């Protein structure tokens, strides 16, 4: 399946355009080999693929954590350039990444301090900063936990606080790396409800095919550093031969209705 044409201008806030992206690990192993991807503002797109396919490597290029050997990434028309300090600061405000392990993002004494860390680095103080924190915690249902120590929270609560810390930056593109991993069923459902209601573009990196089906109308499959399929999530997941070729499996008994 070919990539859907962009439905909105590539310079609209929240839009993502990746063109000809190549990246090789320091040991010489190729990780990305000419990735092309367009995500329109407001879309929710799942990035699927087997272990080692390049999913997280691609995600780390979207806000300049990794620098491409070749190719470009633009968010709302602004090019990601790790050598441009001012531009990179704006990209990292626009593109929020929530990592798989929330303990990688939570390190301050209280939930409120953690959520306010990014906006404080932008120079917010006083009531504007308190407002950002309150808004972000409300968005993830964690307002009653603002004064708790993050390490005393459940894993699901930690993940929601990590999402809040990113939302407090007012991003236009939210990248979620394996958001459902290690969550119990209730926490998994609660996070899905939060993600479904967010007014931002979402790129969700996941092995969880039912979660992709639930949350993302469109999915992209990457394998061996290349985009190999791009289309409606239901259609991709209803193709057992496609899934088998790229070491993807639905849970036993899970039924997909292609639309």
Domain boundaries, the chain: 16-101+171-245
List alpha helices for the chain, DSSP H: 55-61, 85-94, 111-121, 126-139, 155-167, 185-196, 209-215, 233-237, 240-245
Cα separation, 34 vs 196, in Å, equals 31
Higher-confidence residue: 1 or 157?
157
Cα separation, 105 vs 8, in Å, equals 32
CATH fold for the domain made of 16-101+171-245 = Rossmann fold (3.40.50)
Query: Angle CA(199)–CA(50)–CA(46) in degrees, nearest 5?
Result: 15
The per-residue pLDDT for range 28-53, each reduced to its tens digit, is 999 999 999 999 999 999 999 999 99
Cα separation, 124 vs 224, in Å, equals 42
Please report the pLDDT score of residue 10 as a whole number. 65
pLDDT band per the 50, 70, 90 thresholds, residue 132: very high
Packed helices 155-167 and 126-139: angle between N→C axes, nearest 10 degrees: 130
The per-residue pLDDT for range 145-197, each reduced to its tens digit, is 999 999 999 999 999 999 999 999 999 999 999 999 999 999 999 999 999 99
Which of these ranges, 4-13, 121-130, 140-149, 171-180, has the smallest mean pLDDT? Answer: 4-13
Cα separation, 145 vs 153, in Å, equals 9
User: Mean pLDDT for the chain?
Assistant: 92
pLDDT at 6 over 90: no
Global pTM exceeds 0.75: yes
Please report the pLDDT score of residue 9 as a whole number. 57
Number of other CB atoms surrounding residue 29 within 10 Å: 9
pLDDT at 259 over 80: no
pLDDT band per the 50, 70, 90 thresholds, residue 11: confident
Q: Which tokens sit at 225?
A: 């550093």
């Amino acid at each position: 399946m070919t990539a859907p044409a962009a439905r909105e201008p590539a310079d609209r806030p929240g839009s993502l355009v990746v063109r000809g992206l190549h990246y090789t690990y320091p040991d010489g192993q190729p990780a990305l080999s000419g990735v092309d991807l367009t995500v329109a503002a407001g879309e929710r797109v799942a990035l699927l693929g087997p272990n080692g396919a390049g999913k997280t490597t691609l995600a780390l290029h979207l806000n300049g954590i990794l620098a491409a050997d070749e190719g470009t990434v633009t968010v709302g028309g602004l090019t990601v350039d790790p050598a441009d300090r001012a531009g990179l600061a704006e990209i990292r405000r626009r593109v929020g990444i929530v990592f798989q392990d929330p303990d990688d993002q939570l390190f301050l004494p209280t939930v409120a301090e953690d959520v306010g860390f990014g906006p404080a680095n932008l120079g917010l103080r006083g009531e504007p900063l308190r407002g950002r924190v309150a808004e972000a915690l409300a968005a993830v249902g964690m307002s009653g936990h603002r004064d708790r120590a993050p390490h005393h929270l459940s894993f699901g609560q930690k993940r929601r606080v990590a999402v809040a810390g990113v939302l407090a930056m007012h991003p236009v593109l939210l990248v979620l790396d394996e958001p459902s991993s290690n969550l119990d069923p209730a926490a998994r459902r609660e996070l899905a409800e939060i993600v479904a209601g967010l007014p931002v573009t979402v790129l969700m990196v996941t092995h969880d095919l039912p979660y992709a089906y639930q949350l993302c109308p469109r999915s992209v499959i990457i394998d061996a550093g290349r985009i190999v399929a791009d289309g409606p999530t239901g259609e991709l997941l209803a193709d057992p031969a496609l899934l088998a070729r790229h070491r993807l499996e639905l849970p036993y008994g899970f039924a997909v209705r292609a639309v």
